[in-house]
Chain A
Amino acid sequence: MTEIDLRRRACIVGAFEHPTRKAPDKTSAQLHAECARGALEDAGLTLSDVDGYFCAVDTPGLGAIDMAEYLGLNPRHMDTTELGGASYLSHVSHSVQAIAANKCDVALITLAGRPRSAGGGIGATGPYISPDTPDLPWERPYGWAPAPMYALAAMRHMHEFGTTSAQLAAVRVAASLHAQYNPNAMLQTPVTVEEVLASPMISDPLHKLDCCVISDGGGALIVARPEIARSLARPVVNVLGAGEAYKGYLRGQVDVSWSAAALSGPRAFAAAGVSPQDIQYASLYDSFTIAVIMQLEDLGFCAKGEGGRFVEEGNLIAGQGRLPFNTDGGGLCNNHPEHRGGITKVIEAVRQLRGEANREVQVPGCTLAVASGLGGMIGGRHATSTLILERE
């Protein structure tokens, strides 16, 4: 059955990325509240305008209940969809549905956390995995963790398609070239392919610089109905289309050559009525470099197996490539708050569409962007959420 047309039924009117990358002196709840304040200020709205609240498992306490109290919200619509790093993109999509259904007018979405201050290191997953997770008895004893699980996909990608470590490294290089213009980025120094390849091997074939940063912080978004959006001073960013998907072990028919983005991407493009060739900027989930290469293929920006070459040709670099990506420096260099960068993907896409990205990396006349989020592990079970956003 055809989806109900929800194009332009709601707009992103506020976007805020917390400038902190290390917050030992703040609680997680406080970071959520500071992000909410920042996004409301950005939109030109106040707390009393918010009647919908969307959050995921990174909120302290019992979902929306504790944060609604802490923030002083009086929501008539709540949604605590939990899809790991893809959650916040789905929150945007679900808030569009809720606004179209007149369940709320102004939706607040928050993400925050402080894994850097809490300690952990590469491969930490956050504290949310309950001991009765049914897959764990057959995962945990084998050293299951994000880096090796992404590495299983990277190794197979190299085997099937001839992808190289240098091509993986080129993803990091492009992100670092963008991060040098972001004064809030955790790592602002450009790196070379050689430097990525010389960084310590974490889990073959992923080097340390193939992995994202671990940062404290967060972000928030405000989604509102178009009448409200047009009454505000900020440029209007329409949500044009959205898609979600799950992919895992395929009941034992494991195939790690593609990700759930191969399903969520076409769903989002179909809903939006545009094609990958129309997209001028892409926020791609970059917990590890291999994830970017697979999303490029799975979202249709290049053929399956061509992602490495696409990146190696410089196509991700603002000012020279066909598809500038993660112009804030992404999770690889800028920010990956609470081990899940989903909301930052939307925020940078909004900046690009408003013309408010850092000057050196702003895509001229950017009117159509994609934001792609991924939760879980690309070589194992994961969910993706894809958004197509449009400058009105």
Chain B
Amino acid sequence: MTTPYQDRPLPGPMLDTSTTPFFEAAKEGRLMIARCTQCRQPHWYPRPLCPYCLGDTAWETASGRGTVYSYSVARRMGPVPYAMAYVRLEEGVTMLTNIVDADLDTIHIDQPVEVTFKPMEDGWMMPMFRPVEGQTDAA
């Protein structure tokens, strides 16, 4: 069985003062995470106040590399199948995302993945992840 990845229309991002920097960076091909300026902990999803200590946070560019923590191919949740996943980033936080640009039936836990960006409405971009070619799973 193969389930080829297909693009699906993505609505524009939900923009407000605390999300716009993330989506402006995504437009330029950068995945941002937030880290506390006080306790130095990174967290996900990004917030202006740290969920460990309520300190102010600052944006930083993530490596965009990670591994699949869990996944599910949603086969009847819309016009085309899509692969929901949690990806553990090298920076130590795990984010909800989609796995794309792959046969969705080959996705597996611990698979190395890297960020890529898929178009949303009005020229915005959403970070998603694709398998890293030729790289074997982390032990």
A68 to B68 CA separation, bound complex (whole angstroms): 49
Residue of A nearest to B23 (CB): A137
A252 to B33 CA separation, bound complex (whole angstroms): 11
- The residue from B11, B41, B75 contacting A141, defined by CB atoms under 8 A apart: B11
Do residues B76 and A202 form an inter-chain contact, with CB atoms below 8 A? yes
One digit per residue, 1 when the CB lies within 8 angstroms of any chain B CB and 0 when it does not, for chain A 149-161 equals 1011111100100
Indicate whether B59 reaches chain A with its CB closer than 8 angstroms.
no
A141 to B15 CA separation, bound complex (whole angstroms): 13
Do residues A152 and B44 form an inter-chain contact, with CB atoms below 8 A? no
Residue of A nearest to B20 (CB): A137
Indicate whether A140 reaches chain B with its CB closer than 8 angstroms.
yes
One digit per residue, 1 when the CB lies within 8 angstroms of any chain A CB and 0 when it does not, for chain B 72-106 equals 11111110001011101000111111100000000
Binds B, one of A128-136, A187-195, A319-327, A355-363: A128-136
Q: A204 with B69: in contact, given A139-B96, A252-B93 (CB under 8 Å)?
A: no
Q: Which residues of chain B are near A74, meaning CB under 8 Å? A: none
Q: A152 with B84: in contact, given A147-B74, A202-B75 (CB under 8 Å)?
A: yes
Indicate whether B109 reaches chain A with its CB closer than 8 angstroms.
yes
Do residues B77 and A203 form an inter-chain contact, with CB atoms below 8 A? yes
- The residue from B18, B77, B109 contacting A202, defined by CB atoms under 8 A apart: B77
Indicate whether A314 reaches chain B with its CB closer than 8 angstroms.
no
Indicate whether B139 reaches chain A with its CB closer than 8 angstroms.
no
Indicate whether A302 reaches chain B with its CB closer than 8 angstroms.
no
Indicate whether A61 reaches chain B with its CB closer than 8 angstroms.
no
Q: A131 with B86: in contact, given A141-B120, A379-B70 (CB under 8 Å)?
A: no
Q: A134 with B84: in contact, given A148-B77, A152-B72, A204-B72 (CB under 8 Å)?
A: no
A323 CB to nearest B CB, Å = 28
Q: Which residues of chain A are near B73, meaning CB under 8 Å? A: 203-204
Q: How many A residues are at the interface, by size bracket? A: 35 or more
Residue of B nearest to A123 (CB): B77
A292 to B39 CA separation, bound complex (whole angstroms): 38
Do residues B74 and A155 form an inter-chain contact, with CB atoms below 8 A? no
Do residues A203 and B74 form an inter-chain contact, with CB atoms below 8 A? yes
Which of B94-139 touch A at CB < 8 Å?
94-98, 109, 120, 126, 128
Do residues B71 and A152 form an inter-chain contact, with CB atoms below 8 A? yes
A162 CB to nearest B CB, Å = 13
Residue of A nearest to B72 (CB): A151
Q: Which residues of chain B are near A154, meaning CB under 8 Å? A: 72
A380 to B94 CA separation, bound complex (whole angstroms): 12
Do residues B76 and A143 form an inter-chain contact, with CB atoms below 8 A? no
Indicate whether B54 reaches chain A with its CB closer than 8 angstroms.
no
Do residues B98 and A142 form an inter-chain contact, with CB atoms below 8 A? yes
Indicate whether A201 reaches chain B with its CB closer than 8 angstroms.
yes
Q: Which residues of chain A are near B94, meaning CB under 8 Å? A: 249, 252-254
Indicate whether A144 reaches chain B with its CB closer than 8 angstroms.
yes
A262 to B76 CA separation, bound complex (whole angstroms): 31
Q: Which residues of chain B are near A251, meaning CB under 8 Å? A: 41, 43-44, 51-52, 93
Q: Which residues of chain A are near B92, meaning CB under 8 Å? A: 252
Indicate whether A73 reaches chain B with its CB closer than 8 angstroms.
no
Q: Which residues of chain B are near A204, meaning CB under 8 Å? A: 71-73, 75
Do residues B71 and A138 form an inter-chain contact, with CB atoms below 8 A? no
A138 CB to nearest B CB, Å = 4
- The residue from B52, B84, B98 contacting A203, defined by CB atoms under 8 A apart: B84
A252 to B44 CA separation, bound complex (whole angstroms): 4
Do residues A253 and B74 form an inter-chain contact, with CB atoms below 8 A? no
Residue of B nearest to A208 (CB): B76
Residue of A nearest to B126 (CB): A141
Do residues A152 and B13 form an inter-chain contact, with CB atoms below 8 A? no
Indicate whether B47 reaches chain A with its CB closer than 8 angstroms.
yes
Indicate whether A256 reaches chain B with its CB closer than 8 angstroms.
yes
Do residues B51 and A202 form an inter-chain contact, with CB atoms below 8 A? no
A99 CB to nearest B CB, Å = 35
Residue from A140, A204, A253 with most neighbouring chain B CB atoms (10 Å): A204
B126 CB to nearest A CB, Å = 5
Q: Which residues of chain A are near B74, meaning CB under 8 Å? A: 143, 145, 147-148, 151, 202-203
B residues apposed to A, CB below 8 Å? 10-11, 13-14, 16, 18-19, 22, 41-47, 51-52, 69-78, 82, 84-86, 88, 92-98, 109, 120, 126, 128
Give me 12 other A-B pairs in contact (C-beta within 8 A), A131-B14, A251-B41 excluded: A122-B76, A138-B45, A142-B98, A151-B72, A151-B84, A152-B70, A155-B70, A200-B76, A249-B94, A252-B45, A252-B92, A254-B86
List 28 A-B pairs, Cβ < 8 Å.
A122-B77, A134-B18, A138-B96, A139-B96, A140-B11, A142-B97, A142-B98, A143-B77, A144-B84, A148-B72, A148-B74, A148-B77, A152-B86, A155-B70, A155-B71, A156-B69, A201-B76, A203-B72, A203-B73, A203-B74, A251-B43, A252-B42, A252-B43, A252-B44, A252-B45, A252-B92, A252-B95, A253-B94
